[in-house]
Amino acid sequence: MRTLILGGARSGKSAFAESLLSGPKPVRYLATARPVDAEMAERIRRHRARRPAGWEVVEVDGDLSGAIAATPAGHRLLIDGLTLWLATLLEGDGPPGRPADGWADAVLASLQQAPDAVIVSEEVGGGIVPDNALARRFRDLAGELNQRVAAACDRVVLVTAGIPVEIKRAAAAGGAR
């Protein structure tokens, strides 16, 4: 099952996503955050401290679709998160020669081959309209990416104030929802 976890900053979405991955299957964690300053380095440190020691962590530096495709068969996949990855791409560190919509296409194609994945992304469209073109482009691309990933997922959960609310669950084979 592919699950998208959405929420605002500090909403509890990452902790909730991690809680979904208990069990005997190995977990590959694709981390997209980069320690660009002391505050971000501290956030990364807290995430690392919370994770089970046995999880394989891959620091993704731009090529998220390649990292997804390289996940060994039988592993559960956690991607945390799409918006940090998108920000890296918009800073100019993405795959060369590929427009933003091509990045999303490649990630979506890779996710089709990852049937057991939990994907974390920020919901960025609920605030004010940003005052600069780059921030507006980021917000628009993040919204479009979230919509496309949500459509490709079996389940979508919105986390607000640490409370998960399921907003989509695909019907199971033979049953309706």
Count of helix runs (H) and strand runs (E) in the chain: 6, 7
Please report whether residue 177 resides in a domain.
no
pLDDT band at 175 (very low <50, low <70, confident <90, very high): very low
Please report whether residue 155 resides in a domain.
yes
Please report whether residue 143 resides in a domain.
yes
Please report whether residue 175 resides in a domain.
no
**What range defines the domain where residue 19 resides?**
2-169
For this structure, is 47 an active site residue? yes
Per-residue confidence (pLDDT) for residue 174, from 0 to 100: 46
36 CB-contact burial (10 Å; exposed 0-12 / middle 13-18 / buried 19+): exposed
Smallest Cα–Cα separation from 54: which of 91, 22, 84, 79?
22
Please report whether residue 117 resides in a domain.
yes
Q: What is the CATH number of the domain that holds 58?
A: 3.40.50.300
Please report whether residue 6 resides in a domain.
yes
User: Which residue is it, tokens 């459509």?
Assistant: 151
Structure tokens at 87: 């920000």
For Cα atoms 173, 151, 128, give the angle at the middle one, nearest 5 degrees. Answer: 145
Residue 65 CB contacts under 8 Å (≥ 6 apart), including other chains: 103, 106, 107, 109, 110
Please report whether residue 13 resides in a domain.
yes
Per-residue confidence (pLDDT) for residue 176, from 0 to 100: 43
Per-residue confidence (pLDDT) for residue 101, from 0 to 100: 63
At residue 127, what are phi and psi to the nearest 5 degrees?
-105, -165
Per-residue confidence (pLDDT) for residue 98, from 0 to 100: 52
2-17: per-residue pLDDT in tens? 999 999 988 999 999 9
Q: Is the pLDDT of residue 78 over 90?
A: yes
Q: What is the mean pLDDT of the chain?
A: 87
Q: How far apart are CA 160 and CA 158, in angstroms?
A: 7
Please report whether residue 139 resides in a domain.
yes
pLDDT band at 66 (very low <50, low <70, confident <90, very high): very high
Number of domains in the chain: 1
Q: How far apart are CA 53 and CA 15, in angstroms?
A: 15
Of 47, 51, 98, 169, which is the active-site residue?
A: 47
